[in-house]
Amino acid sequence: MSNRSIAIEENVSLQPYNTLAVPASTRWFTCVTTETQLKEALEFCREQQCEWLLLGGGSNVVLASDFLGLTIQLKLQGLSLEEETDTHVKLSIAAGENWHDTVMYCVAKSWYGLENLALIPGSVGAAPIQNIGAYGVELEQCFDYLEAMNITSGEMQVFDKPACEFAYRDSVFKHHSKDQWVITRVVLILSKQPQWQLHYPALQAQLGHIPQDQLTARLVAEAVIAIRQSKLPHPDDIPNAGSFFKNPIVSNEECQRLKQHFPELVAYAQDTQPQTYKLAAGWLIDHAGWKGKEVDGIAMHKEQALVLTNPNRLIGQALLAFVEQVKSDIQQKYSITLEVEPRIYS
Ligand code: FAD
Ligand code: NAP
């Protein structure tokens, strides 16, 4: 008889647990709500000598084949104030909390910093993995530290901002700390004074006419939500994983080379990396004729060329075959190698 408190199910479909609705299955499945349960789940993997797959909301993964190990859905809950001063709060949030609900909680409290990041699907624990970002704001701007459990030893460790090595849609957890840690808690610093970031054209169009002293976090969050709802498909209606490709970062020379051939190319100078430009991957894909184009049941979205959709809920391999076609066409047309943003499990 096992002393485990967690329920482990066998041969479970992961289709409801990934927003691309890929019908992959897992040999074992469990949902953990406490750190003790997480330890038990990892102990189970050691006993069975099987692999583990961590899932939050499943909104940034491609499950390209059936998984032969234990899938652990992280549902650690809880939110508490760690510190409050006249100018800021430090908010500690368990990894399994929903990201958007957390944003709206802060908006309601008039704690500023997260309003541009409204309506991003998924969990708080996954947010540092790719340093989530939208409308000119990235997680790292509000990030203080996180706590994570070592998968092998079960030890807890704190990662401050430098240790996370945040970059554009990137962190240490995609590189040399990949698959070694389960993020259990994230601590954010939020300001009691607004610091609006409204330079994106879509936000300007929605809010530019409002004097800054009349803006509220709620108004900004609601504008972000309205813009997103107008062009991004809801995964429940049309399965997708948000932007499927990263915006390529290229040198000044590379950008000028492309601009000679494509004067209307959308490119932004990078403040953080001088002499480099961020190309709008959505523009490259749209201009190459892929926006709204469906091949064998998979399509780039008709309103947003960067969003790959899986309307027929096909298997991951079908999706990856489509991805290769898009990538090779972009390579051929612009000599640019597109990089996939979601994590692929093959
Ligand atoms: P999952 O997909 O469950 O996991 C992603 C990866 O992180 C996996 O490798 C998983 O193993 C790992 N992981 C998850 N939780 C943990 C943890 N606690 N510890 C360690 N590893 C973990 N992203 C943006 O940056 N900006 C956007 O504006 C944005 N918009 C989106 C819009 C739509 C419609 C969709 C579908 C996606 C969008 N995304 C966006 C991508 C996605 O929502 C984010 O990357 C989000 O943070 C993923 O959270 P999740 O819980 O779903 O992660
Ligand atoms: P958009 O506002 O139409 O902009 C198109 C592209 O141009 C984006 O990739 C954006 O880069 C860039 N851009 C626009 N204005 C910019 C500025 N003033 N300075 C620098 N870069 C600028 O993009 P969208 O597709 O509707 O998405 C809106 C925001 O939500 C974007 O920030 C996007 O990243 C985010 N989003 C992300 C995902 C995801 O899954 N990762 C999904 C949906 C939306 P950035 O992408 O670097 O911001």
* Residue 254 pLDDT greater than 90, yes or no: yes
Q: Is 241 in the pocket of ligand 1 (CB under 6 A)?
A: yes
Rounded to 10°, the helix 217-231/99-109 angle is 150
The mean pLDDT of 204-233, rounded to a whole number, is 96
Model pLDDT for residues 180-202, shown as the tens digit of each residue: 999 999 999 999 999 999 999 99
Dihedral of CA atoms 86, 92, 97, 100 in degrees, nearest 10, equals: 30
The mean pLDDT of 313-324, rounded to a whole number, is 97
What are the helix and strand counts (H, E) for the chain?
Answer: 8, 20
At 3 the pLDDT is 77
| Ligand located closest to 227 CA | 2
| Ligand located closest to 235 CA | 1
Nearest CA to ligand 2 atom 29: 134
Nearest CA to ligand 1 atom 25: 132
Model pLDDT for residues 85-105, shown as the tens digit of each residue: 999 999 999 999 999 999 999
pTM of the model: 0.97
CA 320 to chain centre: 19
* Residue 223 pLDDT greater than 70, yes or no: yes
Q: CB-based contacts of 22: which residues, under 8 Å, 6+ apart?
A: 14, 15, 62, 63, 64, 239, 310, 313, 314, 315, 316, 319
State the distance from the centre of ligand 2 to the C-alpha of 218, rounded, in angstroms.
Answer: 21
Q: Quick one: CA dihedral 120, 125, 316, 7, positive or negative? A: negative
Mapped onto helix, strand or coil, the DSSP state of residue 163 is: helix
For residues 319-335, one letter each, b for 16 or more C-beta atoms within 10 angstroms of the residue's C-beta and e for the rest, the string is: bbebbeebbebbeeebe
Q: Which residues pair with 156 in a beta bridge?
A: 149
Ligand 1: atom nearest CA of 131 is 25
The mean pLDDT of 23-46, rounded to a whole number, is 97
Active site residue 230: no
The mean pLDDT of 164-169, rounded to a whole number, is 96
State the distance from the centre of ligand 2 to the C-alpha of 135, rounded, in angstroms.
Answer: 6
Model pLDDT for residues 144-158, shown as the tens digit of each residue: 999 999 999 999 999
Model pLDDT for residues 261-307, shown as the tens digit of each residue: 999 999 999 988 889 999 999 999 999 999 999 999 999 999 999 99
State the distance from the centre of ligand 1 to the C-alpha of 252, rounded, in angstroms.
Answer: 31
At 68 the pLDDT is 97
DSSP class of 123: B
Q: Is 232 in the pocket of ligand 2 (CB under 6 A)?
A: yes
The mean pLDDT of 333-342, rounded to a whole number, is 97
Which of 100, 243, 272, 303 is the best mutation target for the ligand 2 pocket, counting ligand atoms within 8 Å of the beta carbon and taking the most? 243
At 25 the pLDDT is 98
The mean pLDDT of 162-177, rounded to a whole number, is 96
| Largest separation between any pair of C-alpha atoms in the chain | 70
Q: Is 280 in the pocket of ligand 2 (CB under 6 A)?
A: yes
At 289 the pLDDT is 98
At 271 the pLDDT is 83
Q: Is 304 in the pocket of ligand 1 (CB under 6 A)?
A: no
Side by side, which strands form the sheet with 240-243?
Answer: 240-243, 307-309, 298-300, 294-295
Model pLDDT for residues 113-141, shown as the tens digit of each residue: 999 999 999 999 999 999 999 999 999 99
Q: Is 271 in the pocket of ligand 2 (CB under 6 A)?
A: no
Active site residue 346: no
Nearest CA to ligand 1 atom 1: 58
At 4 the pLDDT is 84
In whole angstroms, what is the distance from residue 132 CA to residue 294 CA? 28
Catalytic residue among 138, 147, 169, 343: 169
Active site residue 123: no
At 48 the pLDDT is 96
Among 8-12, 22-26, 271-275, 331-335, the minimum mean pLDDT is found in 271-275
Radius of gyration, alpha carbons of the chain: 21
DSSP class of 86: S
Nearest CA to ligand 2 atom 21: 268
Mapped onto helix, strand or coil, the DSSP state of residue 89 is: strand
> Mean pLDDT in the chain?
97
Q: Which residues pair with 31 in a beta bridge?
A: 73
